[in-house]
Amino acid sequence: MAVEPSEASCAQRRDAALANIHKKPSPDPEKNVDFKQHMALLLLFKNEKRDEANRMVLESCGGSRLTKYVGKLVPKNRCETLLRIYLLERTHKLLSKEAREAIEDFAWELLTKYPLGMSRDTVEKAELAHFLLPNNGQTDKWRRYFLALQIVRKAGRYGPTAKIEGDTIENHYQAWNRFLIKFFHIFPNEGTDMDIAHPSSYGECTVGVMYDLFDLADDPELRRLAGNFLALFWAEVAAEFDPQTGERLGMATTRWAHYDGSRPFWARPLLYVYQWHDNDDGSPSLGQVPFLASSYQPPAIVTAIARDRNRGCYLASSRRPGMTGGDGIEVTKTNYRADDGGQPRIMVDKNGDSHFRRDIYYTPDYALGTLTTDPKRSYTTDVTLTPMMGATFPSSRLDRIVVMGTGFYCSRPTSGITGKAVSIIARDPNAKVGHGNRFVSNGTRVFVSHGNLWKNRAEDNSGWFFTRTGDAYAAIRVADGGFKVTDKSSTQVNLPNQITTKEIVEKSGHFLELNDLWAPVVIQMGRASDYKSFADFCAAVKGNRFEYQDGKLTYVSAAKDTYEVWAKGLQPPRINGTEVNLNPAKTFESPFLSMVHGSSQALIRHPGYEDLALDFKKE
C-alpha cells in the first residue's frame, strides 16, 4: 500500500532498513574485513554493541592497506566509512580512545604513505581538466584526502600545525576546501556525473562522495553547495524514475556491461527509504549504511516528481563533459588524475562546449535513451566505454531492448539520437575492432530480453521486428542486411596478470546480431492508449517512410519527424532538416529541471509546489 511521504515514515523505513542489514549483513563483515567499517558505523549510529563496533574499527584500521589488482599490489581506495565514523558527531562520541586514535593514525597514513597521488599541488595547480572529471575513482581520492585532512586537523596528537610536504595541515586543508568549492561553482553547469547514470557501484561511489561532503565538511558553504548538487542529481534521476519498479528508466549509461537488468539500481533501497516507491526488498547491502546514516534527504518537490505516475510524455536532455580533442583541437596530455600523468586532457572548445549530449524520452509505459557524440572528436574513456542505449519498461526491470557493441567492455562502439517515441543508434566509426580484448568490438547487436518482449515477438517480411510488454509497443528495424538471432555473449575473466574475455551463453534474452555492423538501428515505440490494437501499431509503423541508400537512412517516425542518419558517422544526424545540436542551450532541460548553460542556477519545477532554485555561485 502506498505511504504518503513524511519525515516520520522516512525515519521508520530507515530504521527498518538498518535493522534488516544488522540481522543479515551482506557482505558478511566477519568474512570481508573491508566491510567491518560499515557494520561499525551501523552499530554506532544505532548506539548498540559499542564494544563490538569499536573492535571492528580497530580491525579495520589494523588491516592491510594493499589489495591485488591484475597481479599487482596497489593501495586500497575505499575507506571512507571509517572517516565518516570519526567526523560524524553522533558516532564520534561513542568511539573508544583506542579506536579514535586508530582512525587518526589511519588518516595520517592516508596523507603521508598512501595519498594515491593527491597533494596540495593537485589542487593549487588544478586546471580545467580537474574540474571536469568527477568520476568514481577521482572523486573518491578527493574525498579520502580531504576528510583525512579534516581528521588530522582536529586530532590533538597532530592538529592544524602538523606538517606534510613542508607545510601545515591547515594550509593544505584550506587549499583543498577552496578547490572543492570551485568544483561546485564549475561542474554542475556541465552535468551531474562522469559515470553517466551508472546503475551500480560507480554511481554509488560518486554520489556517496557528495553525501560525505554534505554531512562532514567543516565549511558551511561547502556543505551548502554539496546539498544543492545532491538536489540537482536527484532531480535529474526523478525525471527518469519509475515509481512502480523503483528503477531509473532510459538506457543511456556508460561503463556498465550488465545490460540484462539483473542488477537493480544501486539506490533502489535508499529511494524506498526516501518514499520514492513502495517496493520493500527488505535486503539493502552494507554499502547503503553511509547513505542511511546521512542527514540528507531530497527536497519534497523532487520526491513529488519521482512519485508522480502521471508525469506525461517528454524529452529530458542534458549536456555532459568528456571531450579530449577534435576539429583542429590537438589532443594534449595532463596529470589531471594526479597519479597517472599522460592522460588525455578533458577540455571544452572556445565556446565552452563539450559536444556530447544525453537524451531520455520518458512515458508512463516505456523510456528510450541515447548518448550522442561527434565522430570527428575524441572523448575520454570514462564516457565512451561500453555505452548502453535503448528502451526500458515499467512492466519489469528485466524488460529491455539494448543496442550495443559485441564484446564485454568495448570502447565507443555506438552513438545514437532520441526524439519523440524513437531512437536511432548506429556503430561509431571510432570503435575499436578485434576479439578477446575487453575493449574491442567486432559487431553491433540488439539485446531483447526474455519474458514478454521475446514471447510476444513478431518478425515481419517488411524487415520490422515487433514486440510488446505491458502497455508499450516496440518495433525494431535494421537499416540494411538484417540480423541473425544468437545467444552467444561475452564475460570478463580476471586472470592473475591480465583481464581478458570469454564466450558464454546468454540466459536472460537473445541478441539480434547485425549482418552489416554499420547499419543504423531504429527503435520505434508506441503506447497502447494511442492505438486501437497491437496490430494497428504494426500496420502504422510499416507505413512509415524508411529509406536506406548510399549509407544514408531516412526515417519518418510515428510523430511525423524526419530523421537522417549516416552510417560510419560521415556527418552528424539531422532531425527535420536540422543538424542535432550536441551543445544544447541548456545543461538540463525537461519539464521538471532546467539550467541554462553558462548560468549558476538550476530550477526545479512540479505542479503544486513552489519552484526550487539551486544556486551554485558563492553566497
pLDDT digits (tens, 9 = 90+) for 188-242: 999 988 889 999 999 999 999 999 999 999 999 999 999 999 999 999 999 999 9
172 with 303, same domain: the answer is yes
- Whether residue 605 contacts residue 611, with contact meaning beta carbons closer than 8 Å, is answered with yes
Structure-block grid coordinates of residue 275: 518514499
3-state secondary structure (DSSP) of residue 255: coil
- Whether residue 525 contacts residue 493, with contact meaning beta carbons closer than 8 Å, is answered with no
- 425 within some domain: yes
Give the pLDDT of residue 133: 81
- 375 within some domain: no
Q: What is the pTM of this model?
A: 0.96
Give the pLDDT of residue 39: 98
Where in 374-508 does DSSP place strands (E)? 377-379, 388-393, 396-405, 414-419, 422-427, 444-449, 458-459, 464-469, 472-478, 483-486, 488-495, 498-505
430 with 528, same domain: the answer is yes
- Show the domain range for 303: 7-307
Structure-block grid coordinates of residue 594: 532546467
* Residues 121-158: b if buried by 16+ CB within 10 A, e if exposed: ebbeebebbbbbbbbbbbbbbbbbbbbbbbbbbbbeeb
169 with 24, same domain: the answer is yes
**Which region, left, alpha or beta, applies to residue 123 given φ > 0 means left and ψ of -120 to 50 means alpha?**
alpha
Which residues have a Cβ under 8 Å from the Cβ of 348 and sit 6 or more positions away?
A: 128, 132, 321, 323, 354
* 247/233 Cα distance (integer angstroms): 15
- Residue 337 confidence class, pLDDT cut points 50, 70, 90: low
Measured between its terminal Cα atoms, the distance across the chain in Å is 43
294 with 417, same domain: the answer is no
Mean pLDDT of 245-268: 90
* 285/20 Cα distance (integer angstroms): 9
- 149 within some domain: yes
Mean pLDDT of 385-414: 94
Percentage of the chain exceeding pLDDT 70:
97
Mean pLDDT of 324-341: 73
Q: Which of 136-140, 368-372, 450-454 has the lowest mean pLDDT?
A: 136-140
- Whether residue 133 contacts residue 346, with contact meaning beta carbons closer than 8 Å, is answered with yes
- Whether residue 116 contacts residue 335, with contact meaning beta carbons closer than 8 Å, is answered with no
Mean pLDDT of 597-605: 97
Give the pLDDT of residue 70: 64
136 with 282, same domain: the answer is yes
182 with 63, same domain: the answer is yes
- 289 within some domain: yes
- Residue 340 confidence class, pLDDT cut points 50, 70, 90: low
Q: What is the number of helices (H) and of strands (E) in the chain?
A: 17, 36
- 326 within some domain: no
Mean pLDDT of 39-63: 97
- 592 within some domain: no
- 543 within some domain: yes
- Whether residue 428 contacts residue 401, with contact meaning beta carbons closer than 8 Å, is answered with no
441 with 571, same domain: the answer is yes
3-state secondary structure (DSSP) of residue 501: strand
Mean pLDDT of 64-81: 80
> Domain containing 139 — which CATH number?
1.50.10
128 with 14, same domain: the answer is yes
Structure-block grid coordinates of residue 560: 511525423
Structure-block grid coordinates of residue 455: 514471447
- 283 within some domain: yes
Q: What is the mean pLDDT of the chain?
A: 93
Mean pLDDT of 34-49: 97
* 210/225 Cα distance (integer angstroms): 9
Q: How many CA atoms lie within 13 A of 357 on its CB side?
A: 25
Instruction: Give the strand pairing for 464-469 and 472-478.
Output: antiparallel
Give the pLDDT of residue 1: 43
From 269, 291, 307, the end of a domain falls on 307
Domain count, the chain: 2
CB neighbours of residue 8 within 10 Å: 8
13 with 100, same domain: the answer is yes
- Whether residue 271 contacts residue 246, with contact meaning beta carbons closer than 8 Å, is answered with yes
